[in-house]
Amino acid sequence: MIQFPKDFVWGTATSSYQIEGATKEDGRGESIWDRFCKLPGKVRNGENGDVACNHYHLYESDVKLMKSLNIQSYRFSVAWTRIFPKCTEKPNQKGLDFYKRLVDCLLENKISPFLTLNHWDLPQELQDKGGWTNRDVTDYFTEYASYLFQELGDVVHKWGTHNEPMVVSYKGYSSGVSAPGYTDFRLHLKASHHLMLAHGKAVKAFREVGPENGEIGITLNIDPTYPADNTIESENAARIKDGFQNRWFLDPVLKGYYPKDMLELYKQFTDFDYIEEGDLTKIFQPMDFLGLNYYSIATVKQGTAGEFGFLGVEQVKTGRPETFMGWEIEPKGLYDTLLRFKQDYGDIPVYITENGAAYDDKVEEDGSIQDEDRRIYVEDHLKATKKAIDDGANVKGYYLWSLMDNFEWRYGYSKRFGIVHVDYETQKRTPKKTAYWYKQVIEDNGIKEE
């Protein structure tokens, strides 16, 4: 048996827009994803989160299902627009009540809630003011966060500010594949700064008005980056890609500065006039944990082709097996990331806030889903996690992405990440083979060796 530490937390994760549905109920306001989904060609088949997994109505049975699978903790996000449909007006009690009911239900079932404040569904009203490129949004975010700290702080102890701010700013404002869909790298730089500033302000507010025994952190999506070969050029490309995706966010929140080499490189795009004196101090707030979303690695060489060509970086495939997202599978990348945190960023406790895989699941004639490929993916990543813990990494828990199949953003419903299958016609939930396997892992607090 590969045994995990006795206080290790086993969880699953989801996010509001991806599962809730009920987008027009109980006073919820419009979010940027509601708007983005309506734009022609942005989301596969013009799909959207209007119904999704109908979790808004089915949350009680979803919680019971989690309970039946031994899940100890549930990471979910709050839809900002349910709480503040209009940012300048008073909060919407009905929206808050939904999350109160959800949290109560979790606690009744002995599942500890982990609440993320921003999993991408920014109010459209704030987007109309410039979204994350407008510094004022950092104040709106702090107000929204503080309200939830006060209203839910007695029952929720684990809090996350943003999920993957890199995706929000880069994919939303530069590559344009996510809401709001802009394509200007300068906007990404500005938006990323404001996201981190909002994070810092919210953490500070948490210390002032949040629960005394609560914990708060941020979730970053880290792609460990490796040079394609031993040349200086490839090593340089790896440094840049790592700076762009990883250090640009890790360094400000955990060290209080932007990476110097990236500031130098980005001078060609901006004069950084949006960074005000004292901002980095505001961003650099002591956190209780770091959340890591890990899926894959990046392998790069110098070049001008592809998405990162404008930075002189060309990402290449290495021939490793891939998931249904086309993401290369490399559990060692998770191990390397966990040890890198320890080496470069101190001994901060880490939660793996997302890890999992999309596969082209087939429903068998008997109704079961034999997702052996996903089970192996999870098993191999858990083994990498355990090895990292043995080698000194401070990992406190693991949240499998995702509890159930859901709306996978621009890919609509075509990519299934769940350990529970969702029939979107009937909303029937069916645990897949991975779910039963994970249940046993939790019961054993470890992985049985063959």
Closer by beta carbon to ligand IFM, 15 or else 118: 15
- The answer to the question of residue 92 lying near ligand IFM (CB under 6 A) is no
Least separation in angstroms between residue 225's CB and ligand IFM is: 18
Least separation in angstroms between residue 415's CB and ligand IFM is: 7
Closer by beta carbon to ligand IFM, 69 or else 357: 357
- Binders of ligand IFM: how many residues, by CB under 6 A? 8
Active site (annotated) includes residue 354: yes
Least separation in angstroms between residue 94's CB and ligand IFM is: 25
What are the strands, taking DSSP E only, across 21-130?
A: 73-77, 112-118
Closer by beta carbon to ligand IFM, 251 or else 408: 408
Active site (annotated) includes residue 364: no
In this chain, which of 185, 258, 341, 401 binds ligand IFM, going by CB under 6 A?
A: 401
**Burial profile 177-205: b = 16 or more Cβ within 10 angstroms, e = fewer:** bbbbbbeebbbbbbbbbbbbbbbbbbbbb
- The answer to the question of residue 293 lying near ligand IFM (CB under 6 A) is yes
Rg (CA), the chain: 21
Residues 114-173 that bind ligand IFM (CB under 6 A): 164
Residues 6+ away with beta carbon under 8 Å from 271 = none
Here's the x/- map for ligand IFM, 414-443, by CB under 6 A: it reads as: ---x--------------------------
Least separation in angstroms between residue 192's CB and ligand IFM is: 17
- The answer to the question of residue 15 lying near ligand IFM (CB under 6 A) is yes
- The answer to the question of residue 20 lying near ligand IFM (CB under 6 A) is no
Residue 279: Cβ within 10 Å count: 18
What are the strands, taking DSSP E only, across 295-434?
A: 298-302, 313-316, 350-355, 395-401, 420-423, 428-431
Closer by beta carbon to ligand IFM, 206 or else 413: 413
What tokens were used for 36? 């983005």
In this chain, which of 47, 328, 371, 408 binds ligand IFM, going by CB under 6 A?
A: 408
Say if strands 313-316 and 289-293 run parallel, antiparallel, or are unpaired: unpaired
What are the strands, taking DSSP E only, across 79-128?
A: 112-118
Residues 6+ away with beta carbon under 8 Å from 1 = 444, 446, 447, 448, 449
- The answer to the question of residue 223 lying near ligand IFM (CB under 6 A) is no
The Cα 228–Cα 432 span in angstroms is 36
Q: Is 59 exposed, middle or buried (0-12, 13-18, 19+ CB in 10 A)?
A: buried
From 164, 330, 379, 408, active-site residue: 164
Least separation in angstroms between residue 78's CB and ligand IFM is: 14
Cβ pair 395, 291 in contact under 8 A: no
Residue 346: Cβ within 10 Å count: 11
Q: What is the DSSP letter of 219?
A: E
The Cα 361–Cα 213 span in angstroms is 41
Least separation in angstroms between residue 327's CB and ligand IFM is: 9
What tokens were used for 326? 């086309």
In this chain, which of 34, 62, 279, 354 binds ligand IFM, going by CB under 6 A?
A: 354
Closer by beta carbon to ligand IFM, 16 or else 385: 16
Closer by beta carbon to ligand IFM, 307 or else 347: 307
Least separation in angstroms between residue 162's CB and ligand IFM is: 11
From 20, 215, 354, 408, active-site residue: 354
The residue whose two tokens read 């119904």 is 51
Closer by beta carbon to ligand IFM, 371 or else 408: 408
Binding site for ligand IFM (CB under 6 A): 15, 18, 164, 293, 354, 401, 408, 417
Residues annotated as part of the active site: 164, 354
